[in-house]
Homo-oligomer: A and B are copies of this chain.
Amino acid sequence: MTPILPPGMVDIVDVAPRDGFQSIAEPIPTEEKQRCIQALIDAGVTRLEIGSFVSPRILPQMADTGDLVAAFANRPGIRFAALVPNQKGATIALDHGVRELVFVVSVSEAHNQNNVRRSVDDSLDELAAIAKRLREAGNSYLRLDLGTCFDCPFDGTIGWQQVDRVMTRAMDLCAGLDLEVGLCDTTGRATPYQVADHFTRLRERHDYEGLKWAFHGHDTYGMGVANALFAIHHGASAIDGSCAGLGGCPFAPGATGNTATEDLVYALNGGGVHTGIDLPRLLTAADRIAALPGGKIASHLRNVPRERVS
């Protein structure tokens, strides 16, 4: 079949080591995390969200992020990102040699308050400080995740205009950085047409050279793969997935984890979009991740007889 998208156009970012692992209360041994991450790398995953430099008091599961960064330092061709909740976290991440920081602000005031106990304004102040720190460090990449871009568990449907307002302010603060903006469907409630509409409108409004777009979705409503494909067709060059669909969101009632990476890879490989990921090996990684005690998983491909996957 003729490829509909040019090969290599889409990055798959596996967020299981951050978004997935943090959904498990009992700390996973660092060695087991390393084995899971290594299994993802062995499958051909080249971008990972490896952890979060958040206070270990708040999220003990993420306390070993620095150790993981050290363990996987200097892997050629592999990009590791780490979430930072504030400028303190950013400083620690940079001190650990992390090249790719991720910062999240929810478009919805109510969700931002519930998620990070701060107003959107305060989150944007932190963003300004992080951007400044990055410029000082000569490290220009930032992944800015805009949470609840389509739906908020408290406020309901979110229009693109509301995303635009927060994004416009954020873009100002991030001037000069090498920015990748992730539109996040935090609850999984977005529909493919809503995803297409948001990407279309926002890309028209923020048509800056070099600006990259990503999509972060959940399969809670069964829209996971469709939403990701519609995002790609409307400008996203990176898609987040969580291997085995590990995850959930404490402030998004009923949300399952991010769309399973294996479901996304199956859809893309089948369109001649070579993600560089080997599906059978990815399923080996998924089996390991699914075996972690206390994890909530959601994957279609893992339920198919293995000989029927290729």
Contact = CB atoms under 8 A, between A and B. Distances in A.
Interface of A: 1-2, 4, 153, 187, 189-194, 196-197, 219-226, 229-230, 253-254, 260, 263, 266-267, 269-272, 299-301, 303-305, 308
A122 to B, nearest CB: 28
Contacts of A254: 303-305, 308
B266 A304 contact: no
A229 B300 contact: no
Given A254-B303, A300-B220, A192 B225 contact: yes
Given A1-B193, A220-B303, A229-B230, 4 more contacts: A193-B271, A222-B225, A222-B299, A222-B300
A222 B301 contact: yes
Q: Which 6 A-B pairs have the closest CB atoms?
A: A191-B270, A193-B271, A222-B300, A226-B226, A222-B263, A225-B226
Contact of A225 (B194, B223, B271, B301): B223
A131 B191 CA distance: 40
A221 B263 contact: yes
B304 A191 contact: no
B308 A196 contact: no
* Copies of this chain in its oligomeric complex: 2
B220 A270 contact: no
**Would you call the interface of chain A mostly helix, strand, loop, or mixed?**
loop
A226 B301 CA distance: 15
A272 B270 CA distance: 28
Contacts of A191: 266-267, 269-271
Contacts of A220: 300, 303-304
A219 B267 CA distance: 12
B223 A267 contact: yes
Contacts of A263: 221-223
B301 A193 contact: no
A25 to B, nearest CB: 22
Contacts of A222: 219, 224-225, 260, 263, 266-267, 299-301
A295 B84 CA distance: 47
A43 to B, nearest CB: 18
19 contacts: A1-B197, A4-B193, A192-B226, A192-B229, A192-B267, A220-B303, A220-B304, A221-B301, A222-B224, A222-B260, A222-B266, A222-B299, A222-B301, A223-B267, A223-B300, A225-B225, A253-B305, A253-B308, A254-B303
